[in-house]
Structure 1
Amino acid sequence: MSETFETIRYTADVVVIRGEEVLVIERGWPPHQGKLALPGGHVDPGETSLAAAARELLEETGVCINADALTLVGVYDRTDRDPRGRYVSVAYAVTVPEDTVARAGDDATAVRWVPLAQPGELAFDHGEIVHAASRRPLVR
């Protein structure tokens, strides 16, 4: 009997809510280069998904939050969610003040605030994540 191993990459995504808007980035790299997505990325060795979410948010948007402010939205592990292979993402949400300003950095070529109720077409399964976050009473 042979064993088959699958490489699984561990990532974190963040739904940042400001009033009735959600923060998205324009991806600077494939896959989905040029498309809108949630801030997020790989969990580094020795790092928790919570710490990675706060770090990636800061690196990609300049928005600094305390990781303890993040609320779990869910774990996303559909096998076809990323064309690069198997990615499992832990998604978090946070509400920020109305005067929060974001700027593009790291993997993001641009940032923008889009309507939370209608964020438009997002890369990967990020539309599903935004929808789930928008229904959570702890986030609003």
Structure 2
Amino acid sequence: MAEPVPRVGVGVLICKGSRVLIGRRRSSIGDGTYALPGGHLDFGETWEECAAREVMEETGLSIVNVKFAHVVNTVMRDEKRPSHYITIFMRGELSDPNALPENLEPEKCDGWEWVEWPNVPLPVFRPLQSLVESGYKLS
């Protein structure tokens, strides 16, 4: 079997005041951990396009003012499927501040909730844990 190769993931901080949207993962990587909406960067896609697409696919929410926030390098050798991700964190705002998230991929997420940043419930997905540990601030 070939050695796994690094992949590019995009995580999205959807900000509502001092809160961010998180969900509990259902995946072979980070199963049962809390993470931001996001996914893999597609060929030819900008980081902003990926962030907006993934948020729409997973939550039904439309975001605007999407900007780079942070990047982390995470090697997860202890997962069921060992992996190495470069995770680009983007930050965006709801185009409609009153919009509510829907769980459009229940096979990949148990549901969405707003939490005070940086108080993400445990266990935290490793790339998101690295972002929290970096001291990233929303303001």
> TM-score, normalising length from structure 2?
0.78
CA distance in 2, matches of 1:52, 1:82: 27
Distance of 1:45 and 1:24 partners within structure 2: 26
Structure 2's unaligned 5+ residue stretches are none
CA gap 1:86/1:131 in 2 versus in 1, 3 angstroms: closer
How far apart, CA to CA, are the structure 2 residues paired with 1:114 and 1:48?
A: 27
Separation in structure 2 between the aligned mates of residue 65 and residue 81 of structure 1, nearest angstrom = 33
Compared CA separation, residues 87 and 80, structure 1 to 2 (3 A): same
Q: What is the rounded CA distance, in whole Å, between the counterparts of 2:61 and 2:135 in structure 1?
A: 18
Match of 1:30 among 28, 31, 51: 28
What pairs up with 1:1-140 in 2 under 5 angstroms?
7-66=5-64, 69-80=65-76, 83=79, 84-96=82-94, 98-106=97-105, 107-121=108-122, 122-130=124-132, 135-137=137-139
Q: CA deviation at 1:52?
A: 0.9
Question: Which secondary structure state, in structure 2, belongs to the residue aligned with residue 77 of structure 1?
Answer: strand
Letter in 2 for 1:62: G
**Mapped contact 1:20–1:115 kept (Cα < 8 A):** yes
Partner SS, residue 70 of structure 1 = strand
Q: Secondary structure of 2:126's match?
A: coil
Q: Compared with structure 1, are the counterparts of its residues 48 and 82 closer, same or farther at alpha carbon in structure 2 (3 Å cutoff)?
A: farther
Q: Aligned partners of 2:40 and 2:112: how far apart in 1?
A: 19
Aligned equivalents of 2:51, 2:90: Cα separation in 1: 7
- Give the total of aligned pairs: 131
Q: Alpha carbon RMSD of aligned pairs, Å?
A: 2.6
Letter in 1 for 2:99: T
1:13–1:81 distance in 2 versus 1, CA, 3 Å: farther
Superposed displacement of residue 6, structure 1: 6.9
- Cα distance in 1 between the residues matched to 2:84 and 2:70: 17
